[in-house]
Amino acid sequence: MRYGMGAVIALLVVALAVCAGLSRKSKRSMAPSVAKLIGALVMPVTGNLIIILSSDRTLSVLGYFIYFLGMNLVMFTMLGFTFRYCHMPRPPRGMKALAYALLIADAAQLLCNPIFRHAFDIEAIQVAGAAYYRLIPYAGQTFHRIVCYGIFLAIVGIFFWKMITAPRLYLERYAVIFLSMVVVGIWETFYIFSRSPIDRSMIGFACFGLLVYYFAVHYKPVRLLDRMLANVASQMLQGVFFFDAGGRCVWVNRAGRETFHIDRDNYEPSAELLAGIFGDISGEEWVRHEAIMDGSVRKYYQLEKHSIQDSRGRTAGAFLSIVDETERHLAAEKDRYDATHDSLTGLYSREYLYERIRETIDANLDRAYMICFLDINDFKMVNDVFGREFGDYALKSVADSLRRDMGPDYLYGRLSGDAFGMCIPKESFNPEIAVATLSQFTVRRGETEYRLIIHQGVYEVVERDMDISGMFDRANMALESIKDEYNLHVAVYDSAMRERALWDQRIARELPEAIRTGQVRPYLQPIVDDRGRVVGAEALARWIHPAEGFLAPYRFIPTLEKNGMIAQVDRHIWRCACEILSGWKDNDLFISINVSPKDFYFMDVVKELTGLVREYAVEPSRLRLEITETVMMTDEAKRIEILKALREAGFIVEMDDFGSGYSSLNMLKDMPVDVVKIDMAFLRKTQDDVRARTILSSIMQMTNNLKLAQITEGVETAEQFANLRDMGCGMFQGYYFAKPMAVADFMKLLDGSRALA
């Protein structure tokens, strides 16, 4: 019996040593503390083995020492193991220190036993026919038991606490260790109180060590995993349905039950119910999307079915997951709508309109289409004057009217701020209706009422492969040609417009070089007095183009007026005029230069001109400035100041083209000028000579009364010259005297008689 027991314990020592070794090799995070605990267990169990087998007193004493000190070591390592196993990363500091202090004190007092004999002694008894040394405990031994029991009970307490507080899923993990500790504890207690000579409880401790090894290092918590997976499945937001091999539904998670109103006590009707909603759900592996009506709401689902195979590859069942995609679908739909529609007006955005037009044109090759570009004139002004809110309202009104008037196969959208685009089948396009709508577009909001001026450029889709943006560019080109017109609303693109646009681009590109090389230069047209003698000249720009030849101003000036580059031409012509004047030492002729209204945007006209006359030492009164009334259209007060400053600097300011504009008389009232330059061109078309003469003589009289000098330009006949002279006009310019000519020709003319009439 005694030796049989010894053999069992010896086996356990070997087993523990092996497990300690295996734990050291394991990569699990728990392994090091497990290795220490099991390694420590080897010591008391070995001690116990020695006690059981020894018949020698000294050997037995050694056995008891190894046993007791070993128990201290076991408690020490068990504390470390417990903290790790129970995930207590920061065990209470005081508690840990107290436990370690007690263990060390206990070990120390045990080691003093040979001196004081206070802890234990042994006495020989007969067991199984041989001497066996039984323990006689003293106070020190009682202390040792209290320390070890105290720590042991604390550890059991920790496991118990974890067992009841951790999620149920982890119960098994703590319960096994807890229960085995309880068994070992009771066993040990039994030994102590039974006074049985041989301590069998070490078997319990060794088994406990092996259990710890198994659970902490080796054990794969299959049940735990199963339960975790079931938990995950039941908490998933999608519906999950499990079917057995026969296709019967065996389990439905919570989302599935709630969405499809399935009774948790009876899953069987689920398959039929789902088939009723989604159609056939048989088959093994598939994914599909379904849209179904739930009452009045449309709902979107993704269904995914997979079969489940057992370890031998046989179908054990299947599962179906059903994801409610309604929200995602609606969000995607909204994103798509936002991306394709303008947020203010709800019309198609430009990109989407282009896309739709492309599709439509490509899909209807036998149909002709018109591309229309609509633009609100001066919309910035509407915003500035009436406020952004009214501006937005106006844009919405235009959008509403488009929606109202458009036919079913029209496409339309908002191209940019105040521009709208349309694509209309040619047979439905009616310019008269367009004009009628556009010409009286009034926006009313509360007290405010404003008539929008809307222009429409139209391009007939002839080149179907062209980019849609190119088509709109052409429609826009047509629109640009009437942008400044108040009575014209619709313009249709023709190829001349394209030529014009290309020409405009070319001029802009080539101008700087042309100025630098003198291709652009002034021609001089003589101005004569009432006796026909030359008193001055007007400098008129000409472009002697290397490829296009001689270009009159109408070929390039309007373009440059539009893009602002006219200022470069003017600066150049003014400089040329000053240069010519500075060369005229022996006469007192003047040169009139043209000042474009655009110049005022691009330079400080006063500074520029005073700088030039100073540079060339020219008397400012010899450089006359021709300015049209349009200069007063914007920023009138400031312009008046500029003209005053120019006159104060000594320049003579002339109002050019008087009578040809809309409000010459009105302007004359405010514009500070010295000379009025009357344009005869505006009388040229009239048949009624008497009326023309009446008007001219009235102008002469009026300007005389205002103490303004007059020049009449466009004089073509001797008769005109005579009549104007009779009316009191002092200076004349026109083909009757001479056409504009190169500077050299003009000099030759001066060398002659100087009298041109």
The residues that touch ligand C2E, with contacts defined as CB under 6 A, are: 525, 540-541, 552-554, 557, 566, 569-570, 573, 594, 596, 626, 656-657, 713-716, 733-735, 740
CA distance 159 to 175: 8
HEC sequence for 124-152: EEEECCEEEEEEEECHHHHHHHHHHHHHH
Indicate which single residue of 77, 481, 594, 596 sits in contact with Mg ion (rule: CB under 5 A).
594
734 binds, among Mg ion, ligand C2E, none (CB under 5 to 8 A by kind): ligand C2E
Residue 162 vs residues 82, 171, 179, 207, 211: alpha-carbon distances, Å: 11, 8, 13, 22, 18
Residue 458, token pair as written in the block: 């139209």
- Cα separation of 563 and 510, whole Å? 14
The minimum distance between CB 688 and ligand C2E, in angstroms, equals 20
Q: Binding partner of residue 569 among Mg ion, ligand C2E, none, CB under 5 to 8 Å per kind?
A: ligand C2E
User: Taking CB under 5 A as the rule, does residue 628 contact Mg ion?
Assistant: no
Q: Does 570 bind Mg ion (CB under 5 A)?
A: no
**Considering beta carbons, is residue 82 or 594 the nearer one to Mg ion?**
594
Question: Which C-beta is closer to ligand C2E: that of 375 or that of 656?
Answer: 656
Identity of the residue, 144 or 624, whose beta carbon is nearer to Mg ion in the bound complex: 624
Q: What's the closest the beta carbon of residue 716 comes to ligand C2E, in angstroms?
A: 4
Nearer to Mg ion, 40 or 580 (CB): 580
Residue (325 or 626) nearer to ligand C2E, CB: 626
The smaller minimum CB distance to ligand C2E, of residues 257 and 571, is found at: 571
Nearer to ligand C2E, 243 or 574 (CB): 574
Span near Mg ion by CB under 5 A; candidates 62-70, 449-457, 619-627, 643-651: 619-627
Q: Give 3-state DSSP helix, strand, coil % of the chain, rounded to 5.
A: 55, 20, 25
Q: What's at 154, amino acid-wise?
A: A
Which of 232, 273, 271 shows the shortest CA–CA distance to 253?
232
Q: Which amino acid is at 683?
A: L
| Least gap, CB of 471 to ligand C2E (angstroms) | 34
CA atoms within 13 A of residue 600's CA, in its CB half-sphere: 19
Which partner in Mg ion, ligand C2E, none is near 199 (CB below 5 to 8 A by kind)? Answer: none
The two three-digit tokens of residue 331, written as one number: 């969000």
**Closer to ligand C2E at the Cβ: 326 or 660?**
660
Note whether 656 binds Mg ion by CB under 5 A: yes
Q: Which amino acid is at 700?
A: M
- Helices first, then strands: H and E counts in the chain: 28, 23
Rounded least distance, CB 569 to ligand C2E, Å: 6
Distance from C-alpha of 147 to C-alpha of 43, rounded to nearest angstrom: 18
Residues 146-185 interacting with Mg ion (rule: CB under 5 A): none
Q: How near is the Cβ of 446 to ligand C2E at its closest, in Å?
A: 45
589 binds, among Mg ion, ligand C2E, none (CB under 5 to 8 A by kind): none
Residue with smaller CB distance to Mg ion, 135 or 729: 729
Shortest Å, Cβ 553 to ligand C2E: 4
Task: List the single partner that 188 binds among Mg ion, ligand C2E, none, CB under 5 to 8 Å by kind.
Answer: none
Q: Which stretch binds Mg ion (CB under 5 A): 301-309, 333-341, 436-444, 623-631?
A: 623-631
How many whole angstroms separate alpha carbon 422 and alpha carbon 412? Answer: 4
Q: Which of ligand C2E, Mg ion, none does residue 552 bind to, with CB < 5 to 8 Å depending on kind? A: ligand C2E
Q: For residue 145, which phi and psi values (nearest 5 degrees)?
A: -65, -40
What number of other Cβ atoms are within 10 A of residue 516's Cβ? 10
Tell the smallest beta-carbon distance from residue 626 to ligand C2E (Å): 6
Residue closer to Mg ion, measured from CB, 456 or 594: 594
Closer Cβ to ligand C2E, 476 or 733, answer by number: 733
Which CB, 342 or 626, lies closer to ligand C2E? 626
Among 106, 504, 626, 654, which residue sits at the site for Mg ion (rule: CB under 5 A)? 626
Minimum distance from CB of 678 to Mg ion (Å)? 9
**Are residues 399 and 345 in contact, defined by beta-carbon separation less than 8 angstroms?**
yes
Q: Distance (Å, rounded) from C-alpha 235 to C-alpha 233?
A: 5
Mention every residue, 6+ apart, whose C-beta is less than 8 A from residue 168: none
Q: Which residue is nearest to Mg ion (CB)?
A: 626
The residue type found at 268 is E
Binding partner of residue 193 among ligand C2E, Mg ion, none, CB cut-off 5 to 8 Å per kind: none
Distance (Å, whole) CA 494 – CA 263: 75
Distance of closest approach, residue 741 Cβ to ligand C2E, in angstroms: 10
Closest CB to ligand C2E among 74 and 578?
578
Sequence-distant (≥ 6) Cβ neighbours of residue 662 within 8 angstroms: none
Q: Which stretch binds Mg ion (CB under 5 A): 86-94, 465-473, 603-611, 650-658?
A: 650-658
In Å, how far are 46, 59, 147 from 104, measured between CA atoms? 21, 24, 10
Stretch that binds Mg ion, among 63-71, 151-159, 590-598, 743-751 (CB under 5 A): 590-598
Please choose which of ligand C2E, Mg ion, none residue 573 contacts, taking the beta carbon within 5 to 8 angstroms, the exact cut-off set by kind. ligand C2E
Smallest distance, ligand C2E to C-beta of residue 596, A: 4
Evaluate whether 636 touches 591 at the Cβ level (below 8 Å).
Answer: no
Phi, psi of 585 (to 5 degrees): -85, -30
- What 3-state class would DSSP assign to 461? coil
How far is 737 from 757, CA to CA, in rounded Å? 6
Q: Distance between terminal CA atoms of the chain?
A: 158
622 vs 624 by CB, closer to ligand C2E:
624
Angle, vertex CA 633, rays to CA 630 and CA 637, nearest 5: 120
**CB of residue 647 vs ligand C2E: minimum separation in angstroms?**
19
**Minimum distance of Mg ion from residue 565's CB (angstroms):** 19
Beta-sheet pairing, 315-324 with 454-460: unpaired
Q: How far is the CB of 532 from ligand C2E (least distance, A)?
A: 14
User: Shortest approach of Mg ion to residue 553 CB, angstroms?
Assistant: 10
Of the pair 48, 525, the CB lying nearest ligand C2E is at 525
Q: Residue 322 pairs with which residues in a beta bridge?
A: 239, 303
740 binds, among ligand C2E, Mg ion, none (CB under 5 to 8 A by kind): ligand C2E
Nearer to ligand C2E, 515 or 569 (CB): 569
Cα–Cα distance, 652 to 591 (Å, whole number): 11
Binding residue (CB under 5 A) for Mg ion from 418, 570, 654, 657: 657
The alpha helices in 54-92, defined as continuous H runs, are 57-85
CB of 391 to ligand C2E, least distance (A): 35
The distance of closest approach from Cβ of residue 560 to ligand C2E in the complex, given in angstroms and rounded to an integer, is: 8
Nearest 5 degrees, angle CA 474-CA 478-CA 479? Answer: 110
Q: What is the 3-state secondary structure (H, E, C) of 580-645?
A: HHHHCCCCCCEEEEEECCCHHHHCCHHHHHHHHHHHCCCCHHHEEEEEEHHHHCCCHHHHHHHHHH
| Binding interface with Mg ion (CB under 5 A) | 594, 626, 656-657
